[in-house]
Amino acid sequence: MLRQVTPGRYDAYEALLRALATPSSGRIWMLLWHGQAGSPDAQYGNMEVDGFGYAPCVTSAQELSASGWNRSYEVVDGIDVARTLYPDHYGLWLNPHAPGGGVGVPWLDLRRIATGLDRQPAGPLRLSEPAIEVPQFYALLTQNAHRTPAVRSLRRAWVQPALGAPYLAIGLDVYDTSPPAVDSVRAMMQQSVSAVPDGLPVSTVAMSDEYDPVAMWLRSNARPFYDREAHAAPSPAAPASGYGYPPAPGHQPGAAAPHAY
């Protein structure tokens, strides 16, 4: 599967992520810089590419032998490694000894593996201010938000995934995350989507999610279109490329450097 991941082949890259997320096929050999497998002082190796950290691994016992690694290692499921690495903004690098340098998986894609690939859009993401005009939806959503005390502000973005249909994302900034507050916000969205034109996908993202690339972009680039406290900050210019991934122009999945997300 690694050999199929070549520049521009995002379908092959997604298949690789699915393999890593599957316990039966996603077992990998993590290289330990310190300690032994299972010991309290065990520490993964690390490497840096374009200023981003990655933990190196190999994909089989044969690759381990070919790599020349002479320290300890541990064999684990890819999904468990993803859950360990992504909160510290570490990615995973597969077979760095291989011709071409192997394949790097950025931490945001490890988050997708850890939380469910189908729950998050496939990168690289292109994010921008929405150009589509849906004034009735925004008006109804703003009206309903004003009647929902848990809502502090709302932002919006147009998200174009690498694979799949583009969609309108609504960023929800809330005061309260208790179950009753969450239910009230969910009801607000359900009441508002009746004004969405047929065929326009709409999704929500929590502005408090420090790991979500859409929320990250919204915090940096989008002025609230509804702000209960009316303290919205000016919006700086949006970046030309996606957000939250290593800036490696010219590199795509399968290249020796991380993906340009």
Percentage of the chain surpassing pLDDT 90?
71
Transcribe 48-59 into DSSP letters.
EETTEEEEEEES
pLDDT at 195: 95
Q: What are the chain's domains?
A: 2-119 (3.40.1350.90), 126-227 (3.30.70)
Average confidence (pLDDT) over 33-40: 84
H or E stretch including 74?
Answer: strand 73-77
What is the DSSP secondary structure assignment for residue 229, as one 8-state letter? T
Q: How many CA atoms lie within 13 A of 53 on its CB side?
A: 10
> Is pLDDT of 250 > 80?
no
Q: Give per-residue pLDDT as tens, 174-191.
A: 999 999 999 999 999 999
* pLDDT value, residue 151: 96
Mean pLDDT score of the chain: 87
CA 17 to chain centre: 12
The mean pLDDT of 154-171, rounded to a whole number, is: 95
Section 201-230 average pLDDT: 94
Other Cβ atoms closer than 10 A to 244: 21
Tokens of 176: 């309260």
On whether the pTM is more than 0.75, the answer is yes
**pLDDT tens digits, 77-86:** 999 999 999 9
Residue 199 confidence (pLDDT): 93
Instruction: Measure the CA–CA gap between 92 and 36, rounded to whole angstroms.
Output: 20
